[in-house]
Amino acid sequence: MTRKVLKDSRIKRELLKILRENDIVSGDEIGTKLGISRVAVWKHVKELIELGYKIQSTPKGYKLVKEPSKPYPWELDVKAYYYLSVDSTMNVAKELTEKGEEEWTFIIAEEQTAGRGRLKRSWISQKGGLYFSVILRPRIKLTEIEKVLIPSSRAVAKTIQEYNLSPQVSQAGDVFINGKKVSGILVEAEGELDMVDFLILGIGVNVNNKIPEDLNATSLRKELGKEVNLLEFSKKLFTNLMKGMREQRF
């Protein structure tokens, strides 16, 4: 299976910074600042437009009109890979880990075709939600991997609280709002009994995605009555998660 992955890009980071700081800027000026040709500038602008950025091409240059507010790698302060569609971020994370990928690498999916939760349950992962796995190497025993559930679920709950909602956390690490599930957590690990080799933490949060009527679930959009900035939510959650896990000193 071929998976199209988006990786961090210095050019896209700097290009967007220039567009945000200027009303209209010419391709020549952008190219000079970035050290690339005008044609290369046009290529990156075209790619950004295909990914949801609304960039107008005027006689005087480019103008950034609207942004998709998605957690693309060049929008984040963590190392991340972004998949427009993937079977499961857990599968990708495991493959990357076995190839030596570093700790605290985030694998994010716009949608999952075979997302999974605990006890081999499926996790419906439609566009609009936040679905990711992160690679960890905690110094814990294989029998202690559930210890990461508490700081992880607290990080999710803390982030949701920042939107003036009152989430509840179950012992299994699921997060609910008014008795309806809004987030689930999955932990998978490999190693010896006395020490984990690596651990993959998977988290799914219903943010703006549609919720099937037959599920006892909800989303932030449904609870708030408005769409949530997915990029902003992702940044808050990643920060809270990293802080919470490091405070545990695993």
pLDDT tens for each residue of the chain, 250 residues long? 457 899 999 999 999 999 999 999 999 999 999 999 999 999 999 999 999 999 999 999 999 999 999 999 999 999 999 999 999 999 999 999 999 999 999 999 999 987 766 545 666 678 999 999 999 988 888 888 888 898 999 999 999 999 999 999 998 899 999 999 999 999 998 887 778 889 999 999 999 999 988 788 999 999 999 999 999 999 999 999 999 988 876 6
Other C-beta atoms lying within 10 Å of the C-beta of residue 113: 11
Task: Record the tokens describing residue 169, joined without a space.
Answer: 């956390």
Tell me the two tokens of residue 139. 């110094």
What are the distances in angstroms from CA 123 to CA 58, 144, 237?
44, 24, 19
Q: Where are the chain's structural domains?
A: 8-66, 73-248
Q: Alpha helix locations (H) across the chain?
A: 10-21, 27-34, 38-50, 89-98, 149-161, 220-224, 230-248
Number of residues that make up the chain:
250
CA distance 37 to 10: 15
- Say whether pTM exceeds 0.85: yes
Q: What is the CATH number of domain 8-66?
A: 1.10.10.10
CATH T-level assignment (fold) for domain 73-248: BirA Bifunctional Protein; domain 2 (3.30.930)
